[in-house]
Structure formats: C-alpha cells, structure tokens
Amino acid sequence: MPSASTRAFVRALPKVELHVHLVGSADVDTVLALARRHPEAGVPTDRAELERFYAFRDFDHFLAVYWAVQSMIRGRDDVRALVTGLAARLAGQNVRYAEVTVTPYNHLLDGVPGDELLTGLTEGRAEALADHGVELAWCFDIPGEKGVVAGRETLVFALRDRPDGLVSFGLGGPEVGVGRAQFAPFFTAAREAGLHSVPHAGETTGPATIWSALHDLGAERVGHGTSCTADPRLLEHLAGHRVPLEVCPTSNVRTRQVRSLAEHPVRRMLDHGVVVTLNTDDPPMFGTTLEDEYVAVADALGLLPAEVAGLARNAVEASFLPGGRKAELLAGIDAVVAGT
C-alpha cells in the first residue's frame, strides 16, 4: 500500500494509545502558552525561537527540553493545559482513548500542591471528553532513579488521593543501575488496590530487566520491552502468556536504542506472536505522532491493511477499558477494514 493510502487508512482507524508521558506530550503551542505564563522559567516565548529550541538534536537535548517543560508546571491550570493540548492532538488523529503516564512525585518535588495536580488532571480529563471526544485514563509511575522513597510516596499519593480514571501503576526513568525488584512491595500494594502493573523494562537494558518486571512487579504490560528479542525463552513467554508490549519505535531510534526503524526488533516480536502495540512515548519531543508510528512501521515492514488493523486491535485489547468500550472500538476497526 503506498504511503498516502496507508496514512488515510491509519487515520480512519479508531485508535488507542497506551504509552505516552504527559509532560513529554507537550507540543510547541502548549509550551508557548506555558512559557508566556511563566517567563521566569527562561523558556523561549517567541514561536520561531521556541521551535528551534524544541527541534530534537540528541538525547541530552531531549532531556533539557523535557525538564524545561516540567519546570513550568506550577498548578492546576498548567496541568490542565497539558491534558487538553494532548487530547486535541489525539482527536486530530482519530485516537479515541489513551492511558497517559503521570509522574506525581516529580511534580510534588517541584512544589506543585497535590490537590492542584489532581484538580488539573480531573478538569482536563473532563474537558478532553467533552470538547474532543477523547477518553483519558491515568498511569501514575515511579521515577525509578529517585529510589524507594519515590516508590513509597507515589503509592501513597495514588491510593490516598486516587482520581477518577487512574487505572495503572508504573515505573519509569533510567533502567541502568535501577533494579526492578526493589519496587516490588509498592507494586504488590497497588495491584491489591485494583491498579494494573505496567512498568518500563528492557528499553535500555537487557532481557533480565523484563524478566524482573514480570516476576517481581507482576507486569501485565511492559513499557518498551525492546530487548526481549535477545532471549528466545522470553519471546516464547511473552507470546504464550499474551503479555502486551508498549512499543515506541521512533523513541527507540531517537534515543539510539536501535539504529533505524528498519532494524527495529518489532518485526521479530510480531513473527514470534508477541502482542505488539504501537505508541509514541514523548511525541512532539521526538517529532512523531501515533499516526506517524503506524505509517512508519507499516512502510518499514510492508504490512497489509489487515496487519495494520491488527496492531490497532492489539492496543484496544491490551487497554484497561471495560469490555463494552473495547467491543465498540473493535467494531469500528472492523468497519474500516470492511470498507477498504
């Protein structure tokens, strides 16, 4: 299928996003509004200058941009701006539902009052549905590099002040030197409270980290999981137990975990029957969209329309939506396929 036809087909599919970070989702328009609201942050307030600042150069530059955005989140209005900006962009790609990763501990460390964070999330979520028809859910994740203190505080915040739409508990940040097992008690408590386990693992480390996420944290989905193809037994386990991977191809290329999309292990994952879902991670900062991810993977792997639709189905089925909503979205995907 030519790229233009692929894009039209992908656009028509009702889609689900399972791995996108709220701070990393901020685009130039949202950041420009935040920068003008908080000029003391030193982020460019001129659009052209901000666009140059925002253009991805390397991973260190990505981190600089990420933390610059993080520094401008001061209260409910800033949080709401992130949420509604994300929802508007998702709606433009026919994304109907997204599970968005929020890192409360970092915001609390930056001085954002907990009630302001929760109010911004709640108000933004309601506005996303009312104005854009996009349903959002939350994953509260631990910034792993900050250790067990961050794990404990994230758990307390999640369970004490649990907002509507909170469905999962995650673990992000650097993987090297940050063992998964130390966070096991927090994941056990979160699961017992009804939250799903969705830690990052195997993005910048080997298969052992993924095994630890599965065994120590009870992972129901794995964020990234890129290194799983280095372990045939792990591939067999993921496929046999239908453990979905939240694969973020452009992110993996941008952060140099893989050299190019053509060399991305997503082909091997699919060939081994692993449940692959496509996601964006930090889309504007990496210069991508969910639609772009589908088109790029379809072109790189030579996927047929039915195979592209299969990826969309995987995301719906791997989501934490109730059964009725899943059925609606799956029916919508089937209708698009039937019309091709």
Residues known to be catalytic? 203
Distance CA(264)–CA(93), nearest Å, equals 24
DSSP 151: H
CA dihedral sign, ordered 114, 118, 119, 121: positive
| Residues 6 or more apart in contact with residue 3 via CB below 8 angstroms | 295, 299
Which long-range contacts does 263-269 make (Cβ < 8 Å, 24+ apart)? 264/226, 264/297, 264/300, 265/226, 265/227, 265/228, 265/229, 266/297, 266/301, 267/301, 268/229, 268/235, 269/225, 269/228, 269/229, 269/235, 269/245
| Residues 6 or more apart in contact with residue 166 via CB below 8 angstroms | 137, 138, 139, 140, 158, 195
CB atoms within 10 A of CB 82: 26
Q: Do 285 and 63 form a contact (C-beta atoms < 8 A)? A: no
DSSP 195: P
CA dihedral sign, ordered 282, 288, 292, 298: negative
Report the b/e string of 250-286 with b at 16+ CB within 10 A. Answer: bbbbbbebbeebeebbbbebbebebbbbbbbbbbbbb
Amino acid at 114: G
Distance CA(38)–CA(86), nearest Å, equals 20
